[in-house]
Amino acid sequence: MARLNVQISDKIEVFSRIGVKSFYFILTLVSVWGLAARGAVEEGLLLYLDFEAGWLERGDLSPSRHPVEGWGALEEVPGPVGFGTALELSSDPTAVVRILGDLGAPEVLTIAFWCWFGDPKPDRWDYLFDVRSDQFQEAEGAFFFGRNRAGELRFGDLLVPADGYPRREWVHLVVTVERGRMRVTLNGLEVAAGPAVGTNLGDRVRIGNRFTEEEAFFGRLDEFALWNRLLDDEELLAIVRRPVLSARPVRARAKLPLLWGDLKRGRR
Ligand SMILES: [Ca+2]
């Protein structure tokens, strides 16, 4: 009986060891998977602004942690859902976000953000971002993304016609530059492609205005992020479904519920 007890207790011990080991093994796998998923999006992330409460003090949330400066009557407005608050720029033409820090000249570039286009004011340009300066222009590799007097989006020589993008609703905009070619996608659909602009960002990055800071974007921005690499489809899906660097899920009435995925599958 004593021997049997030993055998049973041995088996229980062996089983419990395997159980505990399996538990820790699964826990490790889940942790590694979680870190890998988060690490993947963080890889090459040069800039990230979530425009949540205290964003100006917290600055850039990417690993680079660039300080950020705001100018003019910047006003946070409630985002429709899911991504908390957004940055409203249309009330002050001098509103701007300046990035204080050198973002370099990456060979590959992805810029992604949520955007709410208001109707442009007649005879006025407005700007989503600009990396030019008085001394540093497009010939030296700087660029801008703006909207001209005709309401067309302009990025380098690329033009998106005035009726080629949605107004007064949130859209996810991705701009990529690589190997001499650049693309603009709205809600996962390519709307423009052509020869690349330069990608010299330096310390001149301004978001929501022209470098002269007098022609603010007539609309709202949220979740502004910039990488020195291309993102794959899985990563792009992840950043339309949740904030770039947070596990906080999008609530039911998301800015763009599943639209990206539907577009990818060609159902729309
Ligand atoms: Ca936000």
* The total number of structural domains that make up the chain: 2
Q: What is the pLDDT of residue 74?
A: 64
Judge if 129 and 214 occupy the same domain. Answer: yes
- Mean of per-residue pLDDT scores for the chain: 81
The 3-state DSSP class for residue 22 equals: helix
Q: Ligand 1: distance of its center to the CA of 227 in Å?
A: 18
> Which domain does 144 fall in, by range?
45-264
Q: What is the pLDDT of residue 69?
A: 94
Judge if 7 and 116 occupy the same domain. Answer: no
Q: What is the pLDDT of residue 107?
A: 94
Q: Ligand 1: distance of its center to the CA of 58 in Å?
A: 13
Q: What is the pLDDT of residue 26?
A: 53
Q: State how far the Cα of 119 lies from the Cα of 169, in Å rounded to an integer.
A: 11
Q: Ligand 1: distance of its center to the CA of 169 in Å?
A: 15
Judge if 161 and 257 occupy the same domain. Answer: yes
Q: Is the pTM of this model over 0.75?
A: yes
Q: Ligand 1: distance of its center to the CA of 6 in Å?
A: 61
Transcribe 164-211 into DSSP letters: SS--SSEEEEEEEEETTEEEEEETTEEEEEEEPPP---TT--EESS-T
Q: Ligand 1: distance of its center to the CA of 210 in Å?
A: 22
Most confident of the ranges 35-44, 48-57, 174-183: 174-183
Judge if 107 and 194 occupy the same domain. Answer: yes
- Residue, of 74 and 51, whose pLDDT is higher: 51
Counting Cα atoms < 13 Å in the Cβ hemisphere of 197 gives: 26
Contacts of 24 (CB under 8 A, 6+ apart): none
